[in-house]
Amino acid sequence: MLEFLNAIGPVTVTGLFGIILWRLQAADADRKANRAKSDERMARIEANTAKLADHDLELATLTDIMEKLKEGIDANGEGFKVIMRYMLQRYHAEYMIQGYITSHQLTEFLEAYEIYKAKGGNGTAKGWKEEICALPVRDDLHPGNPYLEMLKNKGEIKWHSQKPKTEKPMNCSDSR
């Protein structure tokens, strides 16, 4: 039996070395494949990092644009508030000169007042609202424009009593 072991010993050792070498080569191939995958992952990470940097730059640009738009909207809101204050002042003067108010005029005034108030309007308009609400509501009268009447009385407007030369009455929607 010893002779048998001596005879197969070199073959066994060679076989074992072959198996070990085969396993080492397989491990080396796995290591290379894992390295390639790792390199590929790293390349994707770097590409994504570059994309994120681009997105950050775009986001910063969009943020700047949004801030400028907000400034513009705020400025427009302030301008709108000034216009609403003027409208309330004009309505107030007109209705106080008139001495009464129709329910339609009251509705228009209150709608304008609520918009002005929502835009952060001050207490001056509140005083105008209180004076307007104290006026008698007269839906039986049909008010004219007191500003035109004042100008007419001062002679600054010449009223044309002639009819237009066209036979057909002019429609406001036709005059563009």
Residues in the chain: 176
The mean per-residue pLDDT over the stretch 61-65 comes to: 89
Question: What average pLDDT score do residues 125-136 get?
Answer: 94
Tell me if 8 sits within 8 A of 14, measured CB to CB.
no
Higher pLDDT, 163 or 114: 114
Percentage of the chain lying above the pLDDT 70 cut: 84
- DSSP state, 72? H
Instruction: Provide the CA 113 distance to its chain's centre, in angstroms.
Output: 25
**CA dihedral (106, 128, 94, 175) positive or negative:** negative
Using 50, 70 and 90 to split pLDDT, how confident is the model at 80? Answer: confident
Sign of the dihedral defined by the CA atoms of residues 23, 24, 25, 31, in that order: positive
Q: How many CB atoms lie within 10 A of CB 108?
A: 15
- Cβ–Cβ contacts within 10 Å for residue 116, how many? 25
Asked if residue 54 has pLDDT above 80, the reply is yes
Q: Report the pLDDT averaged over residues 22-42.
A: 88
Please tell me what DSSP assigns to residue 141: S
Report which of 92, 78, 90, 91 is spatially closest to residue 121, judged by C-alpha positions.
78
* Alpha carbons 103 and 128: distance in angstroms, whole number: 16
108, 78, 80: which is closest to 94 by C-alpha? 108
**DSSP bridge partners of 101:** 137
pLDDT tens, residue by residue, 139-171: 998 877 766 777 777 766 555 444 444 454 444
pLDDT at 158: 56
Higher pLDDT, 4 or 164: 4
Tokens of 157: 């407007």
The three-class DSSP label of residue 101 is strand
Cβ atoms within 10 Å, residue 40: 10
User: 83 is written with which tokens?
Assistant: 């216009």
